[in-house]
Structures are given as structure tokens and as C-alpha cells.
Structure 1
């Protein structure tokens, strides 16, 4: 799952707007940010199988990011850091942590069984990746719902404008590019390209936050 994760970020921003958008955008993919780095270092492993339907990724070993206990630890750490370092209200910091944890739950829907229930434990995943059309419909539907909730909240706050639609269009554009780009290369190139995309989207969200602060 890629763009579907951002649905959690946008829905969280609608539910608890006191945290900056960039914290939610980073939070929803924080696990994959860590995964990208660990894949490049070889601490976590992947390969590619072009014969697979949908995603060609074979996620062989990723206990430090995508096991359930690891996801909980990432979520708790993110929530605490958001509260302490950014001086966010406790509820906003908690929401950031929940967005981080949502990554594992959404991955459970689409991944083949490669998510450990505990370190070294059985691996689970419902495998929607094996059904590309329904899986893409799921991601787009989730994003649409998250964007609708975010847009509604922005309307209540009097923040109409083109920035929000353009941000959603960016997410859709990156999703389409990912669908059209053949999978392959090595772990380093895969990790580096994924990390660059995640950080680019965070940077755009940060720029939106900054522009809206100036406008106020």
C-alpha cells in the first residue's frame, strides 16, 4: 500500500487539526521511512518477482519496521517525540502516534503474509496485492474519504483554496507513477527512491503548513 496510507494522515488532520500536516504525513509513512533506510543498509531484505500479480515486491525480512511489536514501538516513540519536541497538545501527539500505527493495519490488508505478529513469530497479511484492481480501488477509496474529511475541516476553518486539491493531486500522481514504473533494481536503489518520495511529500506538506501560518 502506498497512497492509502496518506488517507490516515488526512483523516487525522481533520479530526485533530492542532498538529501540523507534515507530522501526520511523515507519521503515516514513518515505518516505511525506516524500512527504506534499513533496506539500504541490508538490515532488512527484499527481492523482486515479476511473475507475481500486483506488487512484485517480496518482503523477506523486516522485523524492525513491519512486525507488530516494532510498529507499536515506532508509534509510541513518534507520539512522545511529537508531544515533547514539538510541544503539541497531548491529544495531538497521541493522534500522531495512532497515524504511525495505522501503517501496520493498512499494510495487513494488502501485503502477502510477510508481517510478523511478534519478533520471529508467524507472518500475516490478507494479500490484496494479488488482486491489483480491487487493491488500487481500496487505496483510492481510502484516499478519497480521507481527503473529503480534510476538505470538510478546512472549509469549517475558512481555509479554502487550491493547496489541498493540489496536494491530493500530487499523491495521485505519485501513485500512478509507481504503478507505471517497472519494479526492479537492487535494494539500495529501491530504498533510496522510496525514501526520496516520502521525504518529498513531507516537504510539500511542511511548505503548506508554512504558507498557511503566514496567511494567518
Structure 2
């Protein structure tokens, strides 16, 4: 799953007026993948490209006990939530940030082949929807677009920025699904992934600065634009 990981960011921003800005929630949604990318570059975790290992991508994510175990994800969620809560002086915002971080493992569980762990052990989990494109593709589009529409309807502001964001998300996703299959060094793939994350997260920060929740009115709007 790629853009589907940002669906919880849109959903939380729509449902919870006290949640952090959209850009912060975008960081939360892919925090463990940011960590995985850095761990791979540092030789702490590992992947390899194996054409045909799933129907949708060649990723053999055979060693990621820190970033993609349920325990590891929970630790990232706790640390990030505490940091956001302290930084914004708002424990509710910190709670929602942590929820979005934790959502990453649950969404991965649906699509990954068995390569996730509970605590970093040998037992691997994954329901494998990457092997069923006819289900995985419409599912990812449905949850992403559904949560995006919810976010736009629950917030006020110019429509241009969110439309640019979702267009960019769909363009990156289309390239991931239908572009050339990654080949060669996993390092190049990881750097490409980080670049895509950085571009979309930057756009999300821009969107978050242009919109506010429908429940924020009058002076309350200024108080939440932190």
C-alpha cells in the first residue's frame, strides 16, 4: 500500500478538530516507512528485489523487525504522539498522531505477503492482497478517495491546494502500479520512495496551512493554526 497509508491522515483531520495539521499527519502515516528507508540505507534492515514475488511489486521485505513489527510500530506511535502532544501542548492532538502512526501496520497487514511480525520474531504475518490486484487497487483507491472527500467536506478553504495534492498522489500511485518495475539496487528504489514521500508530504503541509476544520469559527481558527 502506498497512498492508502495517507487515508487515516485525511480521516483523522476530518473527524478530529484538535488533530495536528495535515502535513504532520502525513508524516505520521508513513513514519515507519521513513524509518525503514533510513534503516535500509544504514544496513540495519534489509530488502531485495525479486521479480514475481507478488503480482503487484517485486519487494522481498525479508528483514524489518524494528520498523515493521507491531511492537516497533507501537513504539514509534508512542514516541511520535508524545512529541506532538508536547510540542502542541495538546494531548488529544498527540493521541491522534499516534493513532495514525499505528494505522500503518494494520494497513500493511492487509496487503503485504507474510513479512510483518508482532515483536520481530520468526513468525511472519500478511494477508497478501498484493497478489490480488483486482481487489487491492480498487480498495486503495476507495479508502484514499473516500477519506480525501471526507476531509475536504469537513474543512474550509480554497479547493486548489487539496486538488493538487490528490492529483499528485494519484500520479505517483499510477506510476507505482503501471510504471516500470523497480530493478537493480534496492538503494535506488528506497531513495525514489523517500523522494515521493517528501514531495507529497510537502504538499500536505501546504494544504494544511490553507484549510481549517468546519467546527473552528471566529477566534478559534487563529488558535488552532499552529
* TM-score, scaled to structure 2: 0.88
2:81 counterpart residue number: 79
Instruction: Tell whether 2:174 aligns with 1:176.
Output: yes
Aligned length: 211
Instruction: Tell whether 2:190 aligns with 1:191.
Output: yes
CA distance in 2, matches of 1:195, 1:128: 23
Structure with the largest fraction of helix: 1
Residues 78-107 of structure 1 show CA distances to partners (whole Å, capped at 9, x for unaligned) of 10011112x152111100100000000000
Are the equivalent residues in 2 in contact too, given 1:34–1:65 (CA < 8 A)?
yes
1:33 counterpart residue number: 34
Q: State the structure with bigger RCO (CA 8 A, min sep 6), 1 or 2.
A: 1
1:165 counterpart residue number: 163
1:119 counterpart residue number: 120
1:6 counterpart residue number: 6
CA distance in 2, matches of 1:112, 1:47: 14
More moved, 145-154 vs 74-83: 145-154
Q: Which runs of 5 or more residues in structure 1 are unaligned?
A: none
CA distance in 1, matches of 2:186, 2:40: 6
RMSD: 1.7
Residues 134-177 of structure 1 show CA distances to partners (whole Å, capped at 9, x for unaligned) of 111111011022112101201xxx32422112211111111011
SS of corresponding position for 1:82: helix
* TM-score, scaled to structure 1: 0.92
Are the equivalent residues in 2 in contact too, given 1:39–1:46 (CA < 8 A)?
yes
2:216 counterpart residue number: none
Structure 1 runs of 4+ aligned residues shifted over 4 Å read none
Are the equivalent residues in 1 in contact too, given 2:157–2:210 (CA < 8 A)?
no
- Which structure 2 residues correspond to residues 57-68 of structure 1 after superposition, within 5 A? 57-68=59-70
Are the equivalent residues in 2 in contact too, given 1:82–1:96 (CA < 8 A)?
yes
Are the equivalent residues in 1 in contact too, given 2:158–2:210 (CA < 8 A)?
no
Are the equivalent residues in 2 in contact too, given 1:10–1:146 (CA < 8 A)?
yes
CA distance in 2, matches of 1:88, 1:177: 40
Are the equivalent residues in 1 in contact too, given 2:49–2:186 (CA < 8 A)?
no
